[in-house]
Amino acid sequence: MARVIPDGWETMDASGPLQRELETLSVLAAGLPDGYTVYHSVHWTNVAHVHAIYGEIDFVVVNRAGQLLLIEQKSGYLQETADGLVKHYGTRSRVVSVQMGRTADGLRDKLMRGLNGQTVFIEHLLYCPDYTVRNPVTAGLLPERIVDAGRRAQLCHIIQSILPVGEVEAVADRIHRFLCDTIQLETDVSALIGQARTLVTRVSDGLSHWARQLDMEPFRLRVTGTAGSGKTQLALAEYRDAIARGKRPLYLCYNRPLADHFARIAPAGGLACTFHMLCDLLLRHHGSVPDFTAPEAFARLVADAGQLPVPDGFLFDTVIVDEGQDFAPDWRDMALRHAAPGARLTWLEDPMQNLYGHPPADLSGWVRLRARSNFRSPRPVVRLLQALLPPDVEIEATAPISGSEVEFLVYKDDALLDCVKDGLRQCYSDGFRSEDVVLLSYRGRENSRLLCYDRLGQNRLRSFTGSYDELGQPVYSEGDVLTESVFRFKGQSAPAIVFAEIDFETLSDKELRRLFVGATRATMKLVLVISERAAELLYRRL
């Protein structure tokens, strides 16, 4: 049986394109004998070397001698043209042979540089399990380098004929080290709430590793990081580390759904809640019960809590503030007064996700770490945002999954609902399940035309009812597709996002921030359902 890197792929629960590749990975693992190593690129990345392997190359098979066979998998329908085989991706098309040649040349160059100019043996193979190539000679590749639907059962045999297992050579270890580099595993806290599976982010040299290498006394770290840079993963790592050292951590954020999810996956021994939940706990500890039916109930809650002393039971050895850009100025001191003497303090923020207009927190004397790499959002999403953001806002596309191009569905007048249905159908046609898709509204709950529906065509919609059960957990209506406002879904993510009701008269900073937050929730596919006037303003900036 072949060795597969990274480990743990058998437990991954996936849909869409990733599911098809995991099926192939199972075939390779079982069908290739000892002596072969299979690298699966979709859930593996090498950030330190600027993605030596990522989405463009689906599998790399390495034999004992350190020779490589690159396998490009093209599922679904292909078109045979005068230029060769063509794969269509929504609104764009790519010639398969050109795509494969470019990525193979790029990998060869990087490997040779990493091996000080030593020659590297690299072969390639196209695997199209759903399509039978009618004219292999005109496909743009050697016929023997194509495994189509007619030869699918022979895949492992063909691999061994192209790349015999060989004998061990010294260069093999260096090639494996180059391909492996360092893989850090951290639970993705932004995983969709309510999903039973645990999503894992594999990030080399990310925030959860480097930020915790800093040594300062007292520990005061301010991380200003873009969406998908790993801020909340760092928060979870800090939280876990505190408990492992026998300390008590406090995790605070603004969004209730994020706090609920963090509390579910964090180990016992600390407190994870929103700022308002902390105020509520403090009042109840002092014998007061807040009245949430009163006008300005949350403002009163904060004011009342601010007048109370902090007892020893509410002091923590590690204090982590997530979504710091959403904290009002007076909340900063109220949050940080819960730090015990000598506590580690970490403040996490992203100015581009400031949807409530609060000024930046005054954290004079704190060490600041800036994180510009987005490891979560598909590269086409980041490229779209790069064209829209002001020059002083930097964001780097470093996700291991290249992803599909952003889809634009432009609606006029009363065609919104039809466009939303089309967006959902596009996600399903790409292989995503209903539980992988989130319908996100650009509007708040009070002003949304979508969030009042419990069904759109065949799609039953699941939404927050506004109430909580006896355990304090949010109650959702019955349905298959989660619907949320962009405000409530901030801090979370999903494989496929249909971001709808995007409409504005001017593309000012406020509108751009909201667009940024919604777009960066997608981890694989993004569909924008946008009005004609908003689309026109957007196109002018692209």
What is the pLDDT averaged over residues 175-180? Answer: 77
Residue 294: Cβ-neighbour burial (10 angstroms; 0-12, 13-18, 19+): exposed
* pLDDT tens profile 36-80: 999 875 333 333 333 333 335 778 899 999 999 999 888 888 888
201's enclosing H/E stretch is strand 200-202
- Would you call 311 helix, strand, or coil by DSSP? coil
Element (H, E) at 461: strand 459-462
Asked whether 525 and 442 are in contact (CB, 8 A), the reply is: no
What is the pLDDT confidence band of residue 401, given thresholds at 50, 70 and 90? low
User: Would you state the pLDDT for residue 6?
Assistant: 67
Place of tokens 């569905």: 409
Instruction: List the structure tokens of 84.
Output: 């060769």
Please tell me the distance from the alpha carbon of residue 278 to that of residue 219, in angstroms, as a whole number: 23
Cα separation, 47 vs 536, whole angstroms: 36
Question: Matching CATH topology for 185-374 and 391-541?
Answer: yes
**pLDDT tens profile 447-485:** 899 999 999 988 999 998 877 666 556 788 899 999 999
> Which residues neighbour 102 within 8 Å (Cβ) at sequence distance 6 or greater?
56
CA neighbor of 324 nearest in space, from 392, 261, 275, 375: 275
Condensed to tens digits (0 to 9), the pLDDT of residues 232-273 reads 888 988 999 999 999 999 999 999 988 988 888 888 999 999
Query: pTM to 2 decimals?
Result: 0.65
Per-residue pLDDT band for 92 (boundaries 50, 70, 90) equals: low
- Rounded to the nearest 10 degrees, what angle do helices 329-336 and 275-285 cross at? 50
> What are the angstrom distances between the C-alpha of 92 and each of 89, 502, 504, 518?
5, 23, 27, 23
| In 304-351, beta strands by DSSP E | 316-321, 339-349
Fold of 185-374: Rossmann fold (3.40.50)
Query: 59-62 and 68-73: which strand pairing?
Result: antiparallel
Angle formed at CA 96 by CA 93 and CA 100, multiple of 5 degrees = 125
Angle 385-390-391 from CA coordinates, rounded to 5°: 105
Residue type, 222: R
pLDDT tens sequence across 184-231: 334 444 444 333 333 334 443 467 767 778 889 999 999 999 988 888
The distance from CA 376 to its chain's CA centroid, rounded to whole angstroms, is 3
Q: Among 3.90.1150.10, 3.40.50.300, 1.20.1260.10, 3.20.20.70, name the CATH number for the domain at 391-541.
A: 3.40.50.300
Terminal alpha carbon distance of the chain: 49
Which residue ranges make up each domain of the chain?
Answer: 3-180, 185-374, 391-541
- Pair of tokens at residue 156: 């492992």
pLDDT averaged over the chain? 84
Q: How many CB atoms lie within 10 A of CB 230?
A: 30
Percentage of residues of the chain with pLDDT beyond 90: 48
